[in-house]
Amino acid sequence: MAANGNSRIVRGKCFVTKDNIDTDQIIPAEYLTLVPSKPDEYEKLGSYALIGLPEHLYPTRYIRDGEIKTEYPIVIGGENFGCGSSREHAPVAMGASGAKVVVAQSYARIFFRNCVATGELYPCETDERMCEELETGREVEVDMEKDVLTDLATGRTYPLKPLGEAGPVIDAGGIFEYARQQGMIKKAVA
């Protein structure tokens, strides 16, 4: 569903979360009746991205009431981002809402894999505890070619880990697009 040709340089406001953001906080189970492979339901899923974050911890919402897209293309996390269920709805909802990249110290395995398989967003790792360095609303640039995050207000830079083998797959827009580009599978025959 992701557009071909994802960009490795993302500039914009960041939304800061903490450790162990699980899939129920990313997309609560009551919205899983939406089928991500249906285009209209894909858009709707996006409007609920990160709606499960408790209000008292996250008074600024990822998507404003009444909006369907986010103003934060960059999500910052701590450890173990995306833990919990295998629901692909989680990276899909974030991607559909307009998120391009998550920068976190570590990811849960299935969430990371679902990001790559769908090409919905880059799960970028860093050793820096960015969730303590930044706050929601800060303008940053995530450069996954040079592997550096820049806080645009201060000019301060933070190293990112290389995307490695996952990078080209997400660049292509997911595992199927990548496999086609590489000649591993043929184009779908309608």
Partner 1 sequence: MAHSVGSSACGFLAAEGSLRRSGHGKPRAGRSVGPVLAIAAPLAPTRTPAATGSVKKAMTMTEKILAKHSDNTYLAPGQNIWTKVDKLMTHDVCGPGTFGIFQKEFGENAEVWDPEKVVIIPDHYIFTSDERANRNVDILRDMVKRYKIKYFYDITNRGDFQANPDYKGVCHIALAQEGHCKPGEVLFGTDSHTCNAGAFGQFATGVGNTDAGFILGTGKLLIKVPPTIRFVLDGQMPPYLMAKDLILQIIGEITVAGGTYKAMEFTGTAIESMSMEERMTVCNMVVEAGGKNGMCPPDAITFDYVTQRTDEPFEPVYADGGAGYIEEYRFDVSKIEPLVAAPHSPDNRKTARECSGTKIDRVYIGSCTGGKTEDFFAAAQLLHKSGQQVKVPTFLVPATQKVWADLYGAPVPGCDGKTAAQIFADAGCPPPASPSCAACLGGPKDTYARMNTPEVCVSTTNRNFPGRMGHKDGQVYLASPFTAAASALSGTVADPRDYL
The two structure tokens encoding residue 168:
């080209």
Q: Contact at 8 Å (CB) between 144 and 101?
A: yes
**At its nearest, how many Å lie between partner 1 and the CB of residue 89?**
8
Distance, CA of 39 to CA of 101 (rounded, Å): 21
Measured at the alpha carbon of residue 149, what is the angle toward residues 143 and 150, in degrees to the nearest 5? 110
By CB under 8 A, tell whether 25 contacts partner 1: yes
Q: Which is nearer to partner 1, 12 or 52 (CB)?
A: 52
**At its nearest, how many Å lie between partner 1 and the CB of residue 55?**
7
The two structure tokens encoding residue 177:
């697009």
Distance, CA of 118 to CA of 159 (rounded, Å): 26
By CB under 8 A, tell whether 37 contacts partner 1: yes
By CB under 8 A, tell whether 109 contacts partner 1: yes
Beta bridge partners of 107: 81
Q: Is 148 helix (H, G, I), strand (E, B) or coil?
A: strand
By CB under 8 A, tell whether 32 contacts partner 1: yes
Distance, CA of 114 to CA of 62 (rounded, Å): 21
Tokens 């969430």 belong to: 111
Please identify, among the stretches 7-15, 19-27, 68-76, 125-133, the one whose residues bind partner 1 according to the rule CB under 8 A.
19-27
By CB under 8 A, tell whether 18 contacts partner 1: no
Closest CA to 35 of 45, 26, 25, 27: 45
**At its nearest, how many Å lie between partner 1 and the CB of residue 136?**
18
Tokens 């408790």 belong to: 54
**At its nearest, how many Å lie between partner 1 and the CB of residue 68?**
17
Please identify, among the stretches 8-16, 76-84, 122-130, 147-155, the one whose residues bind partner 1 according to the rule CB under 8 A.
76-84
By CB under 8 A, tell whether 33 contacts partner 1: yes
Contacts with partner 1 by CB under 8 A lie at 20, 22, 24-25, 28-30, 32-38, 52-56, 79-80, 83-89, 106, 108-110, 113-114, 117-118, 174-176, 188-190
